Structure 1
Amino acid sequence: MAYKLKEATIRTNNSEEGMKMIDELWEDISSGKLPVLFDSEHTFQQGISPVSRYSNYSSDESGDYDLTIMAVSVEFFKNMEVAVSKGLYKKYVEKDENGEIGVCAKKAWEKVWNEQKSGEIKRAFTMDYESSVPSEYTKDGKAHCYLYIAIQ
């Protein structure tokens, strides 16, 4: 009997060691070792996308937080757009012309941090979401990153 996980969570932070933990979690999910995108028999689950949820912040981006990688359907993105329209979240969209997903995500997060520092946004540090799409899954061949940041 095949099974799958809805999500996998680690406690981490933005240190070098924390980034390694995040990379390892993504590797385990991408390879199917943790059956979030694939079931336990390594069958890809159609109609789902991986999304990172950042939650349970000990303080701000400099402290520990929970990182959950979860499998979501298109309904998740529709609900997030509603939350953005209500002013609960701010959406950030970035892309990288060379298809580098890490560069794309870094651009998006740097915008968030710059807007925090300038006072343009006030983050709630409740739950934030990131959907990064590798270039091989996009129509334009570019990496895309979508951030939904909870704001006050």
Structure 2
Amino acid sequence: MAYKLKEVTIRTNNSEEGTKMISEIWRDITSGKLPLLFDSENIFQQGISPVSKYSNYSSDESQDYDLTIMAVTSDFFEKMEAAVSTGLYKKYVEKDENGEIGICARKAWEKVWSEQKLGNIKRAFNEDYESTVPSEYTKDGKAHCYLYISIQVNISK
């Protein structure tokens, strides 16, 4: 009987060791060792996209947080777009002409950190989401990264 996971979570941070842990979990997912994109019999699950969820922050991106890799369907992205339109999230989009997914993701996160440092956004550090698409799965042959960053909403009475 085949089984598949809906998500996998690790506690990590942005240190060198934390980055290594993140690479290892992604390697296990893309190889099928962790049955998230593939079931336990190594059959690819159609209609599933992997998305990273960053949550349970100790304080901010400089401390520990939970990284959850989730298997989502297209309705997830529709819900995120709705959250952007209500102002709960800000969307960042980047691409890399050479198809380097790591460079693409780094560029997107650097935009977030730059806007944060300049005071253009105030992050809520609730749940942030990242979807990276390797160049072999895109029409234009470029790597793409989509970030949905939770922002603090000022509610005035």
Task: Indicate whether the TM-score tops 0.5.
Answer: yes
Other-structure match for 2:123: 123
Letter in 2 for 1:12: T
Q: What's the CA shift for 1:36?
A: 0.4
Partners of 1:107 and 1:54 in 2: CA distance = 17
Other-structure match for 1:16: 16
In the alignment, does 2:54 pair up with 1:46? Answer: no
Other-structure match for 2:88: 88
Q: What's the CA shift for 1:96?
A: 0.1
Secondary structure of 2:130's counterpart equals: strand
Other-structure match for 2:71: 71
Other-structure match for 1:141: 141
Partners of 1:11 and 1:37 in 2: CA distance = 21
The Cα offsets for residues 28-80 of structure 1, whole Å up to 9 and x where unpaired, read as 00000000000000000000100000000001000000000010000000000
Other-structure match for 2:31: 31
Partners of 1:55 and 1:18 in 2: CA distance = 15
Secondary structure of 2:90's counterpart equals: strand
Other-structure match for 2:99: 99
Other-structure match for 1:57: 57
Partners of 1:12 and 1:21 in 2: CA distance = 7
Letter in 2 for 1:40: S
Q: What's the CA shift for 1:148?
A: 0.1
Letter in 2 for 1:54: Y
Return the TM-score normalized by structure 1. Answer: 1.00
How many residues are paired up? Answer: 152
Once the two structures are aligned, what percentage of the paired residues are identical? Answer: 82
Partners of 1:79 and 1:9 in 2: CA distance = 22
The Cα offsets for residues 63-108 of structure 1, whole Å up to 9 and x where unpaired, read as 0000000100000000000000000000000000000000000000
Partners of 1:48 and 1:131 in 2: CA distance = 12
